Amino acid sequence: MTPTQISQIAFYFFAGLAVLGAILTVTVRNVVHSAIFLITSLLATAGIFLTLGAQFLFAVQIILYVGGIMVLFIFVIMLVNLDVALHQLQFNRQKWVAGLLALVLGSQLGVAIWFARAKGSLDIPSGRTGTLSPQNVEQFGLALFEKYALPFEIASVLLLVALIGAVVMTKKRI
């Protein structure tokens, strides 16, 4: 097997794992299992980044999303009173709307893949085997902290507000 074939096999494996994890995230009934499947999907996405040669995005995906955001999700799940949520009204009557929407989105994806194959632009780029380029990370850092400093700070303030909101929501009323 050539390195390109191995890279494509790894890409398809991680893509399938990400899709399977996403489907299981929304279909299982247990909230903790759903969070674990979301972690699986995020790890598979990190694997996709690695097969495409984006080592920096791989590391950011692992550290930020799997390491940080999912820990926050797990804490919120454990702190929220799930007994109240189980006794609330369920939205089981809207299954046909969800099925119709899934059918429409699936058909759009099929048409997009069909047109991409007709043009011949569906080739998956092979992964690079080299090491992380310092120039690439340096350019990313300069762009992030010079050109995009304000959106970066706004995103950090929004995350702080979300964290404070999660703590306030889970706080017991006296």
CATH number 1.20.120.1200 given to 3-127: yes
Q: What is the pLDDT of residue 92?
A: 59
Other C-beta atoms closer than 10 Å to the C-beta of 41 total: 21
Determine if the pTM surpasses 0.75. Answer: no
65-84: pLDDT as tens digits: 888 777 777 777 777 665 55
Residue 144's SS3 state is helix
Mean pLDDT of the chain: 79
Per-residue pLDDT band at 5 (split at 50, 70, 90): confident
User: Higher pLDDT residue, 132 or 70?
Assistant: 70
Rounding to the nearest 10 degrees, give the CA dihedral for residues 32, 37, 41, 42.
20
Q: Domain spans of the chain? A: 3-127, 133-174
